[in-house]
């Protein structure tokens, strides 16, 4: 392993080659340090109400005492199934402070998916918002869950506003299907009970499990990535060091403020929004439903904010929305793109409209998540995933597992660093498949590296399309086709073909209703070699996506 890798020359001035992840013994140390240091400052803003660090401290301590009073033992798993509401960070801090393990659950899961995750993790308790209680009711009997804490949208908004919000959610918008969970305890009642309990502070070490982060299941059965306290501490400190060159430009006396439109159950928002903001004494603007673009823009129009982590589909949707100009984007210091590839046309539009370039990063649930990023001081979009973060090493492997040293030659990206998971929960066989003998995690992503140490994703191994023996990478086809005038977004998949084995099919959402199949194919022919040009075009009103906004090529393939 080269201890003076080429990419260090591309680091902005002041960014260290490594970080000290022993700064805290556990995430609890990080949380409690910030609760004390920034007690008077707002930690979260939600639906017009600020919630302070002190309040988050007090409420999470009460909830931790409540969880202990249920007889949960250190190391037990507690699931959280909620959108971005103030109860989420309180529940996370409470679970960690009680010495328990957070299991983040996608709130849009079906009963089948929820049952799998609760059984696989062995969760004994769940904190869930009532909107999804009907899903839990359908599967709870088949799971180890014994305790349910039931939250509602208005819980932490005060009596008057809270009741009004709950009335609208339940009765006007009808967002809470009928459910029957007789043993469930309301979130506010659990807080009240916890305040009368004695909290017993457990001894937590850096090597204890903090989070089971289930990989989206886009590769088949969902597996739990075991993230230790030290993994997440390291990634918070790596991200802080990486953002420092631009975040120090925030005027003195102005609180660093981040938009959290990505769901907190997703590791990108969990670490880079919530945990990083807590470490920096920042304020997080919680957006409960990022798909409601008018509501997102209306909320953002009320704030000054500096950091905006998002995915390509959200940047695209916002930048093309007629209300975009109602928001003051002039204070934005870093627009962090992750989760999926950012397309050049979206990056160009975002830069034109905000003056802040999208700085693309890369990571996975298995790496807590951030592994590499473009320098935050970049003045243009590079189309790469940047360079490895401080303390992180990346290399490319061929199919035999040997390192590729020829620049520009594609190989599987492998990652080593303090943020890499301990393994998959109770799956030593699956862990063995992805970890090399020298401690690298094999990502399953195909990439190249240039002379400066910048990595570029070519594609997922499994998404590759094989046309007459030639590898076609869907990302490349999508990048070209999405720049065709009249295309809003698109996805490329392989379809069976008698002559070539597979052919490229492009599923397109039009921006211009007059756009034709022939125009797209002509545009692709001008910009790509013949075997990469889509043979089949299908127009749709929308593309299937994960709740985070990743396009689900798997679903498109299933319908072929």
Q: Does residue 216 have a pLDDT over 80?
A: no
Please give the CATH topology (third level) of the domain spanning 52-204. Rossmann fold (3.40.50)
**Token representation of residue 271:** 């670490």
Q: Which helix (H) or strand (E) holds 235?
A: helix 229-247
Shared fold status for 6-21+225-460 and 464-558: no
Q: Over the chain, what is the mean pLDDT?
A: 94
Please tell me the distance from the alpha carbon of residue 181 to that of residue 169, in angstroms, as a whole number: 19
Please tell me the distance from the alpha carbon of residue 293 to that of residue 210, in angstroms, as a whole number: 33
Q: Does CATH number 3.30.300.30 belong to domain 464-558?
A: yes
pLDDT given at position 142: 98
Nearest to 325 by CA among 297, 285, 350: 297
Where would I find the H helices in 98-215? Answer: 111-121, 133-139, 159-167, 187-195
Which tens digits make up the pLDDT trace of 319-364? 999 999 999 999 999 999 987 788 899 999 999 999 999 999 999 9
Please tell me the distance from the alpha carbon of residue 378 to that of residue 458, in angstroms, as a whole number: 21
Nearest to 80 by CA among 63, 57, 65: 63
The burial class, CB within 10 Å (0-12 / 13-18 / 19+), for 58 is middle
Per DSSP, 25 falls in state: S
> 């970890």: which residue's tokens?
435
Q: Does residue 217 have a pLDDT over 70?
A: no
Please tell me the distance from the alpha carbon of residue 441 to that of residue 434, in angstroms, as a whole number: 6
Domain range annotation of the chain: 6-21+225-460, 52-204, 464-558
Q: Does residue 302 have a pLDDT over 80?
A: yes
**Is this model's pTM higher than 0.75 or not?**
yes
Where would I find the H helices in 132-217? Answer: 133-139, 159-167, 187-195
Please tell me the distance from the alpha carbon of residue 301 to that of residue 356, in angstroms, as a whole number: 17
Please give the CATH topology (third level) of the domain spanning 6-21+225-460. Rossmann fold (3.40.50)
Lowest mean pLDDT among 79-93, 207-221, 274-288, 467-481: 207-221
Please tell me the distance from the alpha carbon of residue 534 to that of residue 478, in angstroms, as a whole number: 10
pLDDT given at position 218: 37
């Amino acid at each position: 392993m080269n201890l003076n890798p080429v990419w260090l020359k591309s680091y902005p001035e002041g960014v260290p080659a490594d970080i000290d992840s022993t700064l805290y013994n556990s995430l609890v140390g990080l949380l409690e340090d910030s609760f004390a240091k920034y007690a008077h400052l707002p930690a979260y803003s939600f639906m017009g109400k600020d919630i302070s660090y002190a309040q988050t401290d007090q409420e999470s301590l009460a909830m931790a005492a409540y969880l202990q009073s249920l007889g949960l033992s250190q190391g037990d798993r507690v699931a959280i199934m909620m959108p971005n509401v103030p109860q989420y960070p309180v529940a996370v801090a409470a679970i960690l402070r009680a010495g328990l393990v957070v299991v983040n659950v996608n709130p849009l899961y079906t009963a089948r998916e929820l049952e799998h995750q609760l059984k696989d993790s062995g969760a004994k308790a769940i904190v869930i918002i009532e909107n999804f209680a009907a899903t839990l009711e359908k599967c709870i009997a088949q799971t180890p869950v014994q305790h349910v804490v039931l939250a509602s949208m208005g819980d932490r908004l005060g009596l008057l506003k809270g009741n009004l919000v709950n009335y609208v959610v339940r009765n006007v918008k009808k967002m809470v299907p009928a459910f029957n969970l007789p043993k469930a305890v309301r979130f506010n009642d659990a807080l009240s009970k916890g305040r009368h309990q004695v909290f017993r502070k457990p001894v937590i070490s850096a090597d204890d499990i903090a989070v089971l982060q289930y990989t989206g299941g886009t590769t088949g059965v969902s597996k739990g990535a075991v993230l230790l306290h030290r993994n997440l501490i390291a990634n918070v400190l790596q991200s802080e060091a990486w953002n420092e060159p631009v975040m120090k430009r925030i005027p003195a006396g102005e609180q660093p403020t981040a938009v959290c439109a990505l769901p907190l159950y997703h590791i990108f928002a969990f670490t880079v929004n919530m945990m990083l903001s807590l470490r920096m004494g920042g304020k997080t603007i919680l957006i409960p439903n990022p798909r409601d673009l008018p509501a997102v823009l209306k909320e953002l129009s009320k704030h000054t904010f500096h950091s905006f982590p998002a995915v390509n589909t959200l940047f695209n949707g916002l930048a093309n929305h007629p209300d975009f100009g109602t928001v003051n984007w002039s204070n934005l210091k870093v627009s962090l793109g992750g989760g999926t590839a950012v397309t050049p046309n979206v990056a160009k539009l975002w830069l034109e409209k905000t003056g802040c370039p999208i700085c693309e990063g890369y990571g996975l649930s298995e790496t807590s998540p951030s592994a590499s990023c473009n320098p935050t001081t970049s003045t243009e979009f590079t189309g790469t995933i940047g360079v490895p973060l401080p303390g992180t090493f990346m290399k490319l492997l061929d199919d035999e597992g040997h390192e590729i040293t020829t620049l520009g030659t594609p190989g599987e990206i492998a990652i080593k660093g303090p943020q890499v998971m301990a393994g998959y929960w109770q799956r030593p066989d699956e862990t063995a498949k992805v970890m090399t003998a020298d401690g690298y995690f094999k990502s399953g992503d195909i990439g190249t590296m240039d002379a400066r140490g910048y990595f570029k994703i070519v594609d997922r191994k499994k998404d590759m399309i094989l046309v007459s023996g030639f590898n076609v990478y869907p990302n490349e086809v999508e990048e070209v086709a999405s720049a065709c005038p009249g295309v809003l977004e698109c996805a490329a998949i392989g379809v069976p073909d008698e002559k070539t084995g597979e052919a490229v099919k492009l599923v397109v959402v039009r921006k211009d209703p007059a756009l034709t199949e022939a125009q797209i194919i002509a545009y692709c022919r001008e910009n790509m070699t013949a075997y990469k040009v889509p043979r089949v075009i299908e127009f749709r009103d929308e593309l299937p996506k994960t709740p985070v906004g990743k396009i689900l090529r798997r679903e498109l393939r299933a319908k072929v």
